[in-house]
Copies of this chain bind each other. A is one copy, B any other.
Amino acid sequence: MTADAKTAGAGAAHPASPPLTERQEARRRRILHASAQLASRGGFDAVQMREVAESSSVALGTLYRYFPSKVHLLVATMQDQLQHMHTTLRKHPPAGETPAERVAETLMRAFRALQREPHLADAMVRALTFADRSVSPEVDTVSRLTTAIVLDAMGLEGQPTAAQLSAVRVIEHTWHSALITWLSGRASIAQVKIDIEMVCRLIDLTVPDPA
Protein backbone atom coordinates (compact mmCIF):
# COMPACT_ATOMS: atom_id res chain seq x y z
CA MET A 1 0.00 0.00 0.00
CA THR A 2 2.77 2.42 0.80
CA ALA A 3 4.84 3.67 -2.06
CA ASP A 4 8.18 4.50 -0.53
CA ALA A 5 11.17 5.13 -2.68
CA LYS A 6 12.04 1.55 -3.46
CA THR A 7 15.35 0.51 -4.83
CA ALA A 8 13.48 0.17 -8.08
CA GLY A 9 15.44 0.90 -11.18
CA ALA A 10 12.69 2.22 -13.42
CA GLY A 11 11.62 5.76 -12.84
CA ALA A 12 8.42 7.59 -13.62
CA ALA A 13 8.24 10.05 -16.44
CA HIS A 14 11.41 12.05 -16.40
CA PRO A 15 13.75 9.84 -18.41
CA ALA A 16 16.58 10.49 -16.02
CA SER A 17 16.09 9.17 -12.49
CA PRO A 18 18.60 6.30 -12.39
CA PRO A 19 20.38 6.00 -15.72
CA LEU A 20 18.85 2.87 -17.28
CA THR A 21 21.16 0.62 -19.22
CA GLU A 22 20.30 -0.26 -22.77
CA ARG A 23 18.99 -3.71 -21.90
CA GLN A 24 16.89 -2.22 -19.16
CA GLU A 25 15.45 0.33 -21.49
CA ALA A 26 14.64 -2.50 -23.86
CA ARG A 27 12.95 -4.50 -21.10
CA ARG A 28 10.89 -1.51 -20.08
CA ARG A 29 9.82 -1.01 -23.66
CA ARG A 30 8.92 -4.69 -24.09
CA ILE A 31 6.81 -4.53 -20.96
CA LEU A 32 4.95 -1.44 -22.06
CA HIS A 33 4.38 -2.96 -25.46
CA ALA A 34 3.02 -6.18 -24.01
CA SER A 35 0.81 -4.17 -21.69
CA ALA A 36 -0.67 -2.14 -24.53
CA GLN A 37 -1.11 -5.25 -26.63
CA LEU A 38 -2.99 -7.16 -23.97
CA ALA A 39 -5.02 -4.09 -23.10
CA SER A 40 -6.03 -3.67 -26.73
CA ARG A 41 -7.40 -7.18 -26.69
CA GLY A 42 -9.53 -7.21 -23.61
CA GLY A 43 -9.19 -4.04 -21.62
CA PHE A 44 -8.28 -3.71 -17.98
CA ASP A 45 -9.05 -7.29 -17.01
CA ALA A 46 -7.05 -8.74 -19.87
CA VAL A 47 -3.86 -7.13 -18.62
CA GLN A 48 -2.76 -9.87 -16.26
CA MET A 49 0.58 -9.41 -14.66
CA ARG A 50 1.72 -13.00 -15.28
CA GLU A 51 0.83 -12.65 -18.94
CA VAL A 52 2.55 -9.30 -19.27
CA ALA A 53 5.64 -10.83 -17.73
CA GLU A 54 5.56 -13.80 -20.06
CA SER A 55 4.79 -11.75 -23.19
CA SER A 56 7.70 -9.48 -22.48
CA SER A 57 10.06 -12.30 -21.50
CA VAL A 58 10.68 -10.99 -18.06
CA ALA A 59 10.25 -12.59 -14.66
CA LEU A 60 7.26 -11.59 -12.62
CA GLY A 61 9.51 -10.16 -9.93
CA THR A 62 11.27 -8.03 -12.50
CA LEU A 63 8.00 -6.71 -13.85
CA TYR A 64 7.16 -5.60 -10.33
CA ARG A 65 10.53 -3.96 -9.97
CA TYR A 66 9.85 -1.85 -13.04
CA PHE A 67 6.21 -1.15 -12.26
CA PRO A 68 5.20 -1.60 -8.64
CA SER A 69 1.57 -2.41 -9.46
CA LYS A 70 -0.79 -3.10 -12.29
CA VAL A 71 -2.14 0.41 -12.03
CA HIS A 72 1.35 1.87 -12.20
CA LEU A 73 1.93 -0.17 -15.32
CA LEU A 74 -1.23 0.98 -17.02
CA VAL A 75 -0.71 4.60 -16.08
CA ALA A 76 2.77 4.39 -17.55
CA THR A 77 1.22 2.88 -20.65
CA MET A 78 -1.05 5.88 -20.84
CA GLN A 79 1.89 8.27 -20.48
CA ASP A 80 3.43 6.52 -23.41
CA GLN A 81 0.36 6.82 -25.60
CA LEU A 82 -0.20 10.43 -24.65
CA GLN A 83 3.33 11.27 -25.61
CA HIS A 84 2.69 9.90 -29.10
CA MET A 85 -0.53 11.84 -29.35
CA HIS A 86 1.15 15.03 -28.24
CA THR A 87 3.83 14.88 -30.90
CA THR A 88 1.27 13.95 -33.53
CA LEU A 89 -0.87 16.90 -32.54
CA ARG A 90 2.05 19.25 -32.68
CA LYS A 91 2.61 18.24 -36.27
CA HIS A 92 -1.05 18.70 -37.17
CA PRO A 93 -2.46 21.42 -34.96
CA PRO A 94 -6.21 22.01 -34.83
CA ALA A 95 -7.56 24.54 -37.28
CA GLY A 96 -10.54 26.10 -35.47
CA GLU A 97 -11.12 29.81 -35.21
CA THR A 98 -11.48 30.26 -31.47
CA PRO A 99 -9.59 28.64 -28.60
CA ALA A 100 -12.77 26.81 -27.59
CA GLU A 101 -13.17 25.37 -31.06
CA ARG A 102 -9.57 24.29 -31.25
CA VAL A 103 -9.69 22.56 -27.89
CA ALA A 104 -12.91 20.78 -28.77
CA GLU A 105 -11.44 19.71 -32.08
CA THR A 106 -8.33 18.39 -30.38
CA LEU A 107 -10.28 16.41 -27.84
CA MET A 108 -12.58 14.98 -30.47
CA ARG A 109 -9.58 13.90 -32.45
CA ALA A 110 -8.20 12.15 -29.40
CA PHE A 111 -11.60 10.64 -28.81
CA ARG A 112 -11.69 9.21 -32.30
CA ALA A 113 -8.26 7.70 -31.73
CA LEU A 114 -9.54 6.04 -28.59
CA GLN A 115 -12.57 4.73 -30.44
CA ARG A 116 -10.24 2.75 -32.63
CA GLU A 117 -8.86 0.98 -29.54
CA PRO A 118 -11.70 0.97 -27.08
CA HIS A 119 -10.25 -1.81 -24.97
CA LEU A 120 -6.96 -0.03 -24.61
CA ALA A 121 -8.84 3.11 -23.69
CA ASP A 122 -10.76 1.17 -21.11
CA ALA A 123 -7.63 -0.18 -19.47
CA MET A 124 -5.88 3.16 -19.36
CA VAL A 125 -8.77 5.30 -18.20
CA ARG A 126 -9.94 2.83 -15.58
CA ALA A 127 -6.42 2.59 -14.20
CA LEU A 128 -6.15 6.35 -14.15
CA THR A 129 -9.30 6.92 -12.14
CA PHE A 130 -8.78 3.92 -9.91
CA ALA A 131 -5.27 4.94 -8.95
CA ASP A 132 -4.79 5.64 -5.26
CA ARG A 133 -2.31 7.93 -3.58
CA SER A 134 0.64 5.64 -4.22
CA VAL A 135 0.33 6.42 -7.93
CA SER A 136 -0.18 10.15 -7.55
CA PRO A 137 3.12 11.22 -9.06
CA GLU A 138 2.54 9.18 -12.18
CA VAL A 139 -1.07 10.26 -12.51
CA ASP A 140 0.09 13.80 -12.08
CA THR A 141 2.46 13.39 -14.97
CA VAL A 142 -0.40 12.24 -17.14
CA SER A 143 -2.41 15.20 -15.99
CA ARG A 144 0.36 17.62 -16.83
CA LEU A 145 0.69 16.08 -20.27
CA THR A 146 -3.00 16.46 -20.88
CA THR A 147 -2.92 20.03 -19.66
CA ALA A 148 -0.06 20.77 -22.00
CA ILE A 149 -2.04 19.38 -24.91
CA VAL A 150 -5.07 21.48 -24.10
CA LEU A 151 -3.06 24.63 -23.54
CA ASP A 152 -1.30 24.03 -26.84
CA ALA A 153 -4.66 23.77 -28.52
CA MET A 154 -5.83 27.01 -26.96
CA GLY A 155 -2.86 28.72 -28.50
CA LEU A 156 -2.56 31.46 -25.92
CA GLU A 157 -0.18 34.34 -26.20
CA GLY A 158 1.29 34.62 -22.72
CA GLN A 159 0.87 32.65 -19.50
CA PRO A 160 -2.59 31.26 -18.79
CA THR A 161 -4.56 33.02 -16.08
CA ALA A 162 -5.80 31.29 -12.96
CA ALA A 163 -9.31 31.18 -14.37
CA GLN A 164 -8.01 29.63 -17.54
CA LEU A 165 -6.15 26.97 -15.61
CA SER A 166 -9.30 26.18 -13.70
CA ALA A 167 -11.23 25.94 -16.94
CA VAL A 168 -8.63 23.56 -18.29
CA ARG A 169 -8.91 21.42 -15.18
CA VAL A 170 -12.66 21.31 -15.57
CA ILE A 171 -12.22 20.29 -19.18
CA GLU A 172 -9.92 17.50 -18.12
CA HIS A 173 -12.39 16.36 -15.51
CA THR A 174 -15.12 16.26 -18.09
CA TRP A 175 -12.90 14.51 -20.56
CA HIS A 176 -12.02 11.69 -18.18
CA SER A 177 -15.45 11.25 -16.78
CA ALA A 178 -17.16 11.43 -20.14
CA LEU A 179 -14.81 8.75 -21.40
CA ILE A 180 -15.78 6.57 -18.49
CA THR A 181 -19.47 6.90 -19.17
CA TRP A 182 -18.86 6.11 -22.81
CA LEU A 183 -16.66 3.12 -22.02
CA SER A 184 -19.21 1.68 -19.66
CA GLY A 185 -21.92 2.07 -22.26
CA ARG A 186 -23.89 4.71 -20.40
CA ALA A 187 -23.33 7.50 -22.89
CA SER A 188 -23.23 7.52 -26.66
CA ILE A 189 -20.46 8.92 -28.79
CA ALA A 190 -22.79 11.74 -29.75
CA GLN A 191 -23.39 12.59 -26.13
CA VAL A 192 -19.69 12.71 -25.36
CA LYS A 193 -19.26 15.05 -28.28
CA ILE A 194 -21.99 17.35 -27.05
CA ASP A 195 -20.57 17.44 -23.55
CA ILE A 196 -17.07 18.16 -24.74
CA GLU A 197 -18.32 21.01 -26.88
CA MET A 198 -20.35 22.27 -23.96
CA VAL A 199 -17.47 22.32 -21.52
CA CYS A 200 -15.21 23.96 -24.04
CA ARG A 201 -17.49 26.96 -24.03
CA LEU A 202 -16.10 27.65 -20.58
CA ILE A 203 -12.97 28.80 -22.30
CA ASP A 204 -14.86 31.61 -23.94
CA LEU A 205 -15.76 32.84 -20.48
CA THR A 206 -12.10 33.18 -19.58
CA VAL A 207 -10.71 34.59 -22.81
CA PRO A 208 -11.58 38.25 -23.24
CA ASP A 209 -13.04 38.84 -26.68
CA PRO A 210 -9.90 39.20 -28.83
CA ALA A 211 -11.43 41.06 -31.80
A182-198 CB mask vs B (1 if < 8 Å, else 0) is 00111100010011001
Whether A148 sits at the interface, judged by CB under 8 Å, is no
Indicate how many identical chains form the complex. Answer: 2
Contact A198 B167 (CB under 8 A): yes
Q: Which residues of B contact A184 (CB under 8 A)?
A: 131-133, 135-136, 139
Give me 11 other A-B pairs in contact (C-beta within 8 A), A167-B198, A173-B181 excluded. A1-B45, A126-B132, A129-B129, A136-B184, A139-B186, A140-B186, A169-B187, A173-B173, A173-B174, A173-B199, A174-B174
Task: Show 29 A/B contacts (Cβ-Cβ < 8 Å), sorted by A.
Answer: A1-B45, A44-B132, A126-B129, A126-B130, A126-B132, A129-B130, A129-B177, A129-B180, A130-B130, A133-B185, A136-B186, A139-B184, A140-B186, A166-B194, A169-B191, A169-B195, A170-B170, A172-B177, A173-B176, A173-B177, A173-B178, A173-B181, A173-B199, A176-B177, A177-B177, A199-B202, A201-B202, A201-B205, A202-B202
